[in-house]
Structure 1
């Protein structure tokens, strides 16, 4: 079985966002992934009407990055030290930002909150571990009070740079909660035929995807088309190896959805045709690991 499809909102134009969310509401296990800094800080407010009309839509947001306007508001509220702050995961800021996110999204309870790219300003390993433990403690408080269902880490390079590992995140969440029964149960990381490190590791039962799956966590794949660049980097011949008759973009999505351990593929699109095509390939039988290894080797071969 392949992964489920979710709507990513990072690159969806603001004028297309509400329609994209309503389209996602008709999908199985509908899920929207967003962040307060997306859409120049407007994404939450633009999504709110669709979320109000479709209460079954599950929504995940993030906390970490600040737009200039958010930084000024956070500074006025006394939760960051300067209005020039662009990234923060302090306890004061996380409490303020998650409450603001619930208000903007119109949800008393969020389905997930990700600590957003904690590797962005990490210092040394001990400093980052301390900041993450403190962040997890805040999110544990909110989970226990019913204001969020789960939390996790959304990262671009944290695993590949060695800023943290899944076992470390698990340990820090246990320390924050005071029990193994913590609410950290989801990670988000880039997986594609271009950013293939995690992909290759998963095909061999190693790396963060396999480690998270072994703990029963959800694993969400971001940037499956590498920011929209992948369809121009792959070829119809490669697409045919993956999914006969599918477009290059759809075949690349099918590959990520077939990666062992991936729970959900996040596709950022405001186009109805692109969404429908992705739904079709994600719902099809998974591509075998042998076929996936062959395609990754073909793409990695020198010209």
Structure 2
């Protein structure tokens, strides 16, 4: 398939253990955030990143990590209101969080996602919020604090709050033609099939990202572990004869046009290896993907 498997750490109870497992089995990308693992995810990853210097890592800015609220307020990076809300994309907070993430990880992250910019934001303010965040991230890139940035969203694309062309326009406005916007992250699964259906018709976030040269990270490919129980034997035979429900679900996500990374949260070596083997197989044809969409809808 055109995608590669990466470790997503949102649901990992022990991030260091899961990262070591994945890295020792050939993983080349780990996705995390300061608020994962009760605010300890980045610290947990530092030892693994030191042991595997070629391992790529993405983190995020937006949600305030547990235990850092009062520190951020005392540093003047976080207002009391934003601390209470638990999410902030103000320039001072972004700069403070980027420095903190770099220190916790022990290295410069390869990619930093703006984490759910739609969180608590009125619809008519989302464009301004993104532009302000992009300005701060472009400044961080110019200072070599980070290498590149992207947008990770749960419902920003699906609810029409923004689209890829808008993100490109804002990035160019913030950083010029050589801006550092490099990726998007969004849920793609048998529950979230709309992006796949749109891509097959040549539009939507996956197709737009592909056209713009942005990498697509597919999050929640198993929808929090719920999908395997939803895949009937008949559906599995339709999609991937002889495969398990998990393999079937991952094959659809990895075959979606434009998807470059499938982020799986697991600390189980067997689950990881079977998933990696599934993602490495030839992609499902557009006809098969269309049949899946016909059966499940969007």
In structure 2, what is the Cα distance between the partners aligned to 1:72 and 1:164? 32
In structure 1, what is the Cα distance between the partners aligned to 2:182 and 2:160? 20
Q: Secondary structure at the match of 2:53?
A: coil
In structure 2, what is the Cα distance between the partners aligned to 1:164 and 1:71? 29
Find the counterpart in structure 1 of residue 87 from structure 2. Answer: 87
- Tell whether the 8 Å contact from 2:90 to 2:133 is kept in structure 1 after alignment: yes
Q: 1:213 to 1:141 in 2, by over 3 A?
A: same
In structure 2, what is the Cα distance between the partners aligned to 1:25 and 1:59? 11
Query: 1:68 offset after TM fit, Å?
Result: 4.3
Find the counterpart in structure 1 of residue 118 from structure 2. Answer: 119
| 4+ runs deviating over 6 angstroms | none
In structure 1, what is the Cα distance between the partners aligned to 2:47 and 2:163? 37
Query: 1:160 offset after TM fit, Å?
Result: 1.2
In structure 1, what is the Cα distance between the partners aligned to 2:54 and 2:241? 34
Q: 1:27 to 1:2 in 2, by over 3 A?
A: farther
Instruction: Report Cα offsets for 1:66-95 as digits up to 9, x if no partner.
Output: 134222211111111114240100100000
- Tell whether the 8 Å contact from 2:7 to 2:27 is kept in structure 1 after alignment: no
Query: 1:124 offset after TM fit, Å?
Result: 3.5
Q: Secondary structure at the match of 1:284?
A: coil
- Tell whether the 8 Å contact from 2:172 to 2:179 is kept in structure 1 after alignment: yes
TM-score of the superposition, structure 2-length normalised? 0.95
Find the counterpart in structure 1 of residue 10 from structure 2. Answer: 10
Find the counterpart in structure 2 of residue 97 from structure 1. Answer: 97
In structure 1, what is the Cα distance between the partners aligned to 2:143 and 2:25? 30
1:1-303 aligned within 5 A: 1-14=1-14, 17-26=15-24, 30-82=28-80, 83-107=83-107, 109-125=108-124, 127-177=125-175, 179-300=176-297
Two-structure CA RMSD over aligned residues (Å): 1.5
Q: Secondary structure at the match of 2:259?
A: coil
Q: 1:156 to 1:79 in 2, by over 3 A?
A: same
In structure 2, what is the Cα distance between the partners aligned to 1:7 and 1:22? 10
Query: 1:293 offset after TM fit, Å?
Result: 1.0
Instruction: Report Cα offsets for 1:180-199 as digits up to 9, x if no partner.
Output: 21100100000011111112
Instruction: Report Cα offsets for 1:132-154 as digits up to 9, x if no partner.
Output: 11111111112122222210100
In structure 1, what is the Cα distance between the partners aligned to 2:26 and 2:142? 28
Query: 1:19 offset after TM fit, Å?
Result: 2.6
In structure 1, what is the Cα distance between the partners aligned to 2:177 and 2:153? 23
Structure 2 unaligned regions, length at least 5? none
Query: 1:234 offset after TM fit, Å?
Result: 1.2
- Tell whether the 8 Å contact from 1:117 to 1:154 is kept in structure 2 after alignment: yes
- Tell whether the 8 Å contact from 2:6 to 2:261 is kept in structure 1 after alignment: yes
- Tell whether the 8 Å contact from 1:222 to 1:266 is kept in structure 2 after alignment: yes
